[in-house]
Structure 1
Amino acid sequence: MYRRLIEHLKSWKESQNRKPMILRGARQVGKTWLMKEFGRTCYKKCAYISMDENEVMEEVFRDAFDISRIITALEIAVGFQIEPGNTLIIFDEVQEIPRALKALKYFCENAPEYHVIAAGSLLGVALHEGTSFPVGKVEFCDLYPMDFWEFLKACGEDGLADLLAARDYGLISDFKNKYMDYLKYYYYVG
């Protein structure tokens, strides 16, 4: 499967002024899959931490925002050493531990060498009252449901997808029945 947004994440990885990334999107649009796939394909290691019902991480972020202490805790949790630039740190469902979201500010200010990406459904709506948001210290990226072009790629129909991208309306018209069948399937699957 291929999601176009991975190209934006690759540019973010190479950016000299990179800030922690927050991936926003509705439930079930593929945020977790995209972050893990990005980590798998673009980094040597991927440190995935789900904040959902994670009492250990809740305790880790309850104390002061000492990044070296947080990194040590993350390394223990994932079972390997986190190398700046070579390891993608993923905080999934970050809205469940608002202080983890606030910690992104300190990654930006005190440890920009670490590549951190966070995601959560309804992020911004589900934040708890009294929790500050790291305004200006994070970048945002929005993931939407899979578009028709991505759907064709996921179905193994690279040729049809390439015709759409090339806007070759003559050939597109020649294959209109095939496009219509896939469009119905796309609508049905959602």
Structure 2
Amino acid sequence: MKRKISIALNEWKNKPHRMPLVIGGARQVGKTYILQEFGHEHFENMVYLNMEIEHVLTRFLDAELSPDKLIPFIEALKGERITAGKTLIFFDEIQACERALTALKYFYEQAPQYHVVAAGSLLGVAVNRQKYSYPVGKVEELTLYPLDFEEYLWAMGK
């Protein structure tokens, strides 16, 4: 499905000095869908991590945030090879794991060659409610809104 945010996603992918990307927005507006579609269309592979159900990863993040340790762990967990520039790493429902949000900072500082995206609903509420260390200045943020009228017409083939 064509969405206006796709242009911004392509621009982010091609930036030479890109930060991890966090997509926020209301529930059920298509954050997961658009990022999975983007991953399948623009990368050789995508590693999808739903932080509401990846309890083994959540426990690992309690002890380790370094991308040098995290990448091999995710590869073993998911049985997929992660290659810089060819793999999209997608942390979904990131508001469910404070440490995953913090890990984005370390991807920016220590491993900017990886394409890392995260999505979550009510991120602002979760950050204010928890003792989150939000990676201010270390991530790029976009908001996905519900379909506007033009996007609706595109979806209807008009």
Question: TM-score, structure 2 length as denominator?
Answer: 0.95
Which residue is 2:88 aligned to?
Answer: 88
Q: Deviations over 1:84-140 (max 9, x none)?
A: 011000000001000000000000000000000001001121135222111100000
Worse-matched range after superposition: 65-74 or 80-89: 65-74
Which residue is 1:150 aligned to?
Answer: 151
Q: Identical aligned pairs, as a percentage? A: 46
Q: Give the secondary-structure state (helix, strand or coil) at the position aligned to 1:29.
A: coil
Shift, 1:144, TM fit: 0.2
Q: Give the secondary-structure state (helix, strand or coil) at the position aligned to 1:156.
A: coil
Which residue is 1:23 aligned to?
Answer: 23
**Are the counterparts in 1 of residues 64 and 70 from structure 2 also a CA contact under 8 Å?**
no
Which residue is 1:123 aligned to?
Answer: 123
Q: Give the secondary-structure state (helix, strand or coil) at the position aligned to 1:91.
A: strand
1:23-42 superposed matches below 5 A:
23-42=23-42
Q: Which amino acid aligns with 1:56?
A: V
State the structure with more CA Rg.
1
Which residue is 2:8 aligned to?
Answer: 8
Q: Give the secondary-structure state (helix, strand or coil) at the position aligned to 2:88.
A: strand
**Are the counterparts in 2 of residues 51 and 92 from structure 1 also a CA contact under 8 Å?**
yes
Aligned-partner Cα distance in 2 for 1:132–1:114: 21
Q: Which amino acid aligns with 1:155?
A: M
Shift, 1:37, TM fit: 0.5
- Structure 2 residue ranges without an equivalent (≥5): none
Which aligned runs of 4 or more in structure 1 are off by greater than 3 angstroms?
Answer: none
1:152-167 superposed matches below 5 A:
152-157=153-158
Q: Which amino acid aligns with 2:135?
A: P
Q: Which amino acid aligns with 2:63?
A: D
User: CA RMSD for the aligned pairs?
Assistant: 1.0
Which residue is 2:70 aligned to?
Answer: 70
Aligned-partner Cα distance in 2 for 1:87–1:54: 19
Q: Give the secondary-structure state (helix, strand or coil) at the position aligned to 1:125.
A: helix
Q: Greater RCO between the two (CA within 8 Å, min separation 6)?
A: 2
Q: Deviations over 1:46-99 (max 9, x none)?
A: 111100132111112111222121101211232210000110000000010000
Worse-matched range after superposition: 66-75 or 15-24: 66-75
Shift, 1:6, TM fit: 0.8
- Structure 1 residue ranges without an equivalent (≥5): 158-190
Aligned-partner Cα distance in 1 for 2:76–2:155: 36
**Are the counterparts in 1 of residues 44 and 86 from structure 2 also a CA contact under 8 Å?**
yes
Worse-matched range after superposition: 12-21 or 128-137: 128-137
**Are the counterparts in 2 of residues 91 and 118 from structure 1 also a CA contact under 8 Å?**
yes
**Are the counterparts in 2 of residues 53 and 96 from structure 1 also a CA contact under 8 Å?**
no
Q: How many equivalent residue pairs?
A: 157
